[in-house]
Amino acid sequence: MGALPWLLLLSLLREAKGGSGDGADPEEVVAALQESISLPLEIPSDEEVEDIIIWSSHFRLATVVPAKEGHLAAITVTDPRYEGRVSFLGPSYSLHISNLSWEDSGTYQAQVNLRSSRIPSIVQQYNLRIYRRLSEPSIAVSFETSGDGPCNVSLTCSVAQAGLDVTYSWLSRENAVDTAHEGSVLSTSWRPGDKALSYTCRASNPVSNRSSSLIPARPFCTDLRYPSDKASASFCLLTKALLLLLLLVTLAVGL
């Protein structure tokens, strides 16, 4: 009683229904950590269900014997990792798992055994991926100015504990037109007299998206350029003095 005959039957069934030939592809499902998910089960309404057996990875998770006249549905959760966290919803007994943990990710399979002799059973497979909801992105700024040239600003966006499949984009708005730039680093330059643009970083993963507050690029340049002239001049002098000292020391050691 291997899985192969069932899969063969399933693909025959799919083909008969005019679906794509690749009936064995699991359904991709994503969910957020510590939240809940339903794995939708589709049972033809004219079929009478004997029982439903749910597997997670290689372990039998639960068995459901549907309600019949005078009898309640009998649900047996066989995998202790899911005890108290699973329920079966609706007329088709879709599996509902709450308080998801990282360990819940992976493959699930529902085998619906039917009473009809024409189709003895239906198999549905799912691949569950779990992601953390993103926290607000934080921004690191670096900038370079020199003389009369433009002030070059580089903004780097990141999210703590981001995990997999995170994408970053930068949005700026000028004359009511949004411009998007894909990637976590935005490099731009600003000259005195240029319009002051503001930027927002948006981070997304399959279960959430978050935006940073607006970051105006100009203050990083203007606040530092003029007051810093004196500071950088004295810094320059200090560097020269240190170099001279180093040279003298090198010479003295060399002698």
Ligand X SMILES: *[C@@H]1O[C@H](CO)[C@@H](O)[C@H](O)[C@H]1NC(C)=O
Positions touching ligand X (CB under 6 A) are 99, 101, 144-146, 149-150, 152, 189, 204, 209
Nearest-approach distance from CB 16 to ligand X, in angstroms: 37
Q: How far is CA 107 from CA 2, 74, 75, 127, in A?
A: 18, 24, 21, 4
* Shortest Cβ 208–ligand X spacing (Å): 6
* Least CB distance to ligand X at residue 100 (A): 9
Smaller CB separation from ligand X, 6 or 143: 143
Amino acid at 184: S
Complex with ligand X: residue 35 or 42, whichever CB lies closer: 35
Closest CB to ligand X among residues 36, 121: 36
Nearest distance from C-beta of residue 102 to ligand X, angstroms = 9
Task: Provide CB contacts within 8 A for 140, sequence distance 6+.
Answer: 155, 156, 158
How far apart are the C-alpha atoms of 90 and 73, rounded to whole Å?
12
Residue 135 or 250 with smaller CB distance to ligand X: 135
Provide the minimum distance between the beta carbon of 214 and ligand X in the complex, in angstroms, as a whole number.
17
Helix axes 218-225, 228-254, angle to 10 degrees: 70
Q: How far is the CB of 28 from ligand X (least distance, A)?
A: 17
Cβ count near 30 (within 10 Å) = 15
Measured torsion, CA atoms of residues 48, 50, 56, 57, in degrees rounded to the nearest 10: -100
Closer residue to ligand X, CB minimum distance, 152 or 198:
152
| Residue 146 or 234 with smaller CB distance to ligand X | 146
